[in-house]
A and B are shown apart, each in its own frame.
Chain A
Amino acid sequence: MFDYTPFYICCMELLYRLDDINEVAADVLKAFGERNVIAFSGEMGSGKTTLIHAVCRQLGVKGNMGSPTFSIINEYEGERGPVFHIDLYRCRDEEEAIRAGVEDCIYSGCLCLVEWPEKAPSLFPEETIRVSLTEKDEGRRKISVT
């Protein structure tokens, strides 16, 4: 008999190139399951914003999305409801992020795709899905979802 736990999150690792980003985004989205807070880590230039844009396209977000580095929170309209694209790059700590309205988004029940989670680590619920991006050799990225 197998003991199956529905909350078990599989660790997923993918290698991809920019050309495959739509397929990868679809796979990553499936891995989210019912969870709605997703933290994206990776150094500058590793492709966090680009991957999030591709995930948002899979969610049916239309139109221009841009980078939330300046605005901190971008809100998009997806087919299953609002999607918050958050970038904590300019926040110093939790308090700053809270005052910018980030906590309200994270606990709103809406899907939140968050870049630079390291800036305010204690803000994230335990069930946060962690996506980390590392660039391998020229043009290839490794993505791991836990």
Chain B
Amino acid sequence: MPVKILAIESSCDETAASVCVDGKILSNVIANQTVHAQYGGVVPELASRAHMQNIVPVVDAALKKASVSLKELNAIAFTKSPGLIGSLLVGSQFAKSLALSLDIPVIGVHHMQAHVLANLIDEPRPAFPFLCLTVSGGHTQIVQCKSPSDLVVIGETLDDAAGEAFDKSAKLLGLPYPGGPLIDTYAAKGVARFNFPEPQIPGLDFSFSGLKTAILYFIRDNEAKDKNFLQQNINDICASIQSRIVSILLNKLKRAADQTGIREICVAGGVSANSGLRSSLTGMGIREKWNTYIPAFQYCTDNAAMIAITGYFKFLNKEFDELDVRISARADF
């Protein structure tokens, strides 16, 4: 009998549902909440209200697209942490209620584990053990993955996440939200000729708060000399900021690869869309003789397919949860 799993993701501002059958993703539906752009960020209350409106149509669409009926499902996976509590609550309550009515088990999934295991959705898949640099708006981690159930965080950010560093840098430059992708766009037209410092953080951890301060000083000092400095040099400034964020990430990834001896290297999370990160990763991969992997973009941003694949592996290991499993805003693996 094939294993059919419905997965629900609602940790932040996307309501998503996916159906996977024997580990193959048959549908991956996302309702994006565009309402946030006008407020300059994710608004928690708007997010949970929108999840409530979206969840039924999104789940319905995922099932229809996969041609799987509710009765055929073997389990329901959902994101249990980390995320915004109000948002997580909508997905988890929906999943639990539906599972109860169908008399099938629930599987609570850690969002950050799922980002890593998104690398196992499609060919080419990394061989175990592999390292994954997960970079998003809320998280920056290096994870060592020996099997789908053996994931260890070996490095993470001590302050801002990489995506947050992009967005806040953009804010300091006066760019509209979401600023991260705009920095990428401007950077493509510029040269990284300004030097922003690389923090000296021991081990495999990251820090981006010093970069923010450096940008603040840099703009203030140069604008004092020339009012139009920012406007006239925006491309080069963006290229310089992007180049520094990418080097902070990849230097630690290289250190992790050297320390562990692992040559199977993955990048996951929404920031993997950044073209500077992608091209630098490819270059470093060739130099260091790594096999590098980045999941398809639809599996890098927040999505339910990654929750489904993680739920599938947990199903095979019989790692089910009771209906009283609790969600949490912050949690270790």
Interface residues of A (CB under 8 A from B): 43-47, 49-50, 53, 64-67, 69-75, 89-92, 95-96, 99-101, 135, 138
Contact = CB atoms under 8 A, between A and B. Distances in A.
Contacts of A92: 39, 43
Interface string B297-332: 000000000000000000000000000000001100
B216 A96 contact: no
Contact of B158 (A43, A64, A70): A64
14 contacts: A45-B215, A46-B216, A47-B209, A49-B159, A66-B158, A70-B12, A72-B44, A72-B84, A91-B43, A99-B44, A100-B45, A100-B84, A101-B85, A135-B216
Contacts of A91: 43-44
Nearest to B39: A92
Interface string B21-51: 0000000000000000001011111001000
B212 A70 contact: no
Nearest to A141: B213
B157 interface: yes
B160 A69 contact: yes
A84 to B, nearest CB: 11
Given A45-B172, A90-B41, A100-B85, 17 more contacts: A44-B168, A44-B216, A47-B209, A47-B213, A53-B158, A65-B158, A66-B157, A66-B158, A70-B12, A73-B329, A74-B330, A90-B44, A99-B48, A99-B86, A135-B213, A135-B216, A138-B217
A67 B209 CA distance: 9
Nearest to A70: B138
A45 B85 CA distance: 27
Given A64-B158, A65-B158, A70 B137 contact: yes
A115 B172 CA distance: 17
B216 A90 contact: no
B125 interface: no
**Interface size classification for chain B:** 20 to 34
Contacts of B164: 67, 69-70
Contact of B161 (A46, A67, A95, A138): A67
Contacts, number: 85
The 3 closest A-B pairs by CB, nearest first: A70-B138, A45-B216, A45-B212
Q: Is the interface of A mostly helix, strand, loop or mixed?
A: loop
A53 B329 contact: no
Interface string B204-216: 0100010011011
A70 B139 CA distance: 9
B44 A75 contact: no
Given A66-B159, A69-B164, A70-B137, A49 B84 contact: no
Contact of A67 (B85, B86, B159, B205): B159
